[in-house]
Structure 1
Amino acid sequence: MCEWEDRVSNVAHEIEHYLESHPQAADSLEGIASWWIARQRIRTELEVVRAALEQLSHSGIVSARQDTGKRGPIYRLNNKNH
């Protein structure tokens, strides 16, 4: 498959996954691109970023401090390394 076909196939799978999770959903081309696809990609990237932060935290590169709000930990460069 060429790059274009791969991209189209990946987006088709994302749309299908969204519709399986939200069977009553309906939207325009722009709405699907802006909301369905973008939100799914953000959710996926959040998992990747979470794993990367855990890795950096375990290796001592970043430190995490609990936020007093509901946002979760706040990450920063571990000062012990620099």
Structure 2
Amino acid sequence: MLDRDLTRKEEETARRLLSYLLRHPEARDTLEGMTRWWLLEEEIHERLVEISQGLSSLVKQGLILEEHRGASLPLYRLNPDKKDEVKALVERLFPLRREV
């Protein structure tokens, strides 16, 4: 259990530090290094998981196309046949944002 005096943000930071150390048990760094590298890497790791799940859903819906070229990693792009559908979806979900 983490210290009860921590704010929600401080608790989240502590969780990220511990998560990083679980993935890199031999890691050691200064406070500045932890801030610059460890927390940034944890943020990227977490975002990769989120983006992967969202991307998978968009591919299943046919809004984004997944292209495979040889042994390289897949590339993703907007399905041009669904551009109007995507535009309507974005406008409905984010009505204050105006995309070009």
After TM superposition, the score normalised by the length of structure 1 is 0.82
Alpha-carbon deviation of 1:67? 3.7
- 2:31 partner letter: L
Report whether the alignment pairs 1:36 with 2:38. yes
Q: 1:81 matched to which residue of 2? A: 82
After TM superposition, the score normalised by the length of structure 2 is 0.69
Alpha-carbon deviation of 1:69? 5.8
**How many residues get paired?**
78
Alpha-carbon deviation of 1:34? 1.1
Q: 1:53 matched to which residue of 2? A: 55
Q: Which structure has the larger Rg? A: 2
**Which deviates more from structure 2 when the two are superposed, residues 44-53 or residues 22-31?**
22-31
- 2:68 partner letter: Q
* Match among 9, 14, 17 for residue 15 of structure 1: 17
Identity %: 28
What is the rounded CA distance, in whole Å, between the counterparts of 2:36 and 2:24 in structure 1?
Answer: 16
- As a proportion of its length, which structure holds more strand? 1
What is the rounded CA distance, in whole Å, between the counterparts of 2:22 and 2:58 in structure 1?
Answer: 35
What is the rounded CA distance, in whole Å, between the counterparts of 1:21 and 1:75 in structure 2?
Answer: 28
